[in-house]
């Protein structure tokens, strides 16, 4: 899908950091959330504040991703 966000990393980094590799594998961002963040960023909102707000609004999912990634590494 054209709207997919695809992460990339060096193979040696992924091999040396399995938790990070797992995190990159499992995190799936909603295209609507990404689009809204881009619009707000383009309107001049602070990126750090936007990230903090998104994490707060999605804390359960973020915590689940982190727990799964840590279990892998």
For the chain, the first-to-last Cα distance in angstroms comes to 29
In this structure, what token pair is assigned to residue 37? 């963040």
23-65: per-residue pLDDT in tens? 999 998 888 898 999 999 999 999 999 999 999 999 999 999 9
Structure tokens at 21: 């590799």
Angle between helices 47-57 and 59-72 (to 10 degrees): 90
Q: What is the pTM of this model?
A: 0.82
Q: For residue 16, give every residue at least 6 positions away whose Cβ sits within 8 Å of its Cβ, in sequence order, or none.
A: none
């Amino acid at each position: 899908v054209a709207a997919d966000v695809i992460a990339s990393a060096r193979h040696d980094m992924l091999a040396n950091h399995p938790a990070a590799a797992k995190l990159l594998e499992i995190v799936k961002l909603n295209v609507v959330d990404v689009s809204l963040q881009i619009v707000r960023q383009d309107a001049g909102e602070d990126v750090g504040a936007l990230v903090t707000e998104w994490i707060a609004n999605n804390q359960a999912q973020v915590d689940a991703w982190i727990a799964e990634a840590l279990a892998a590494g």
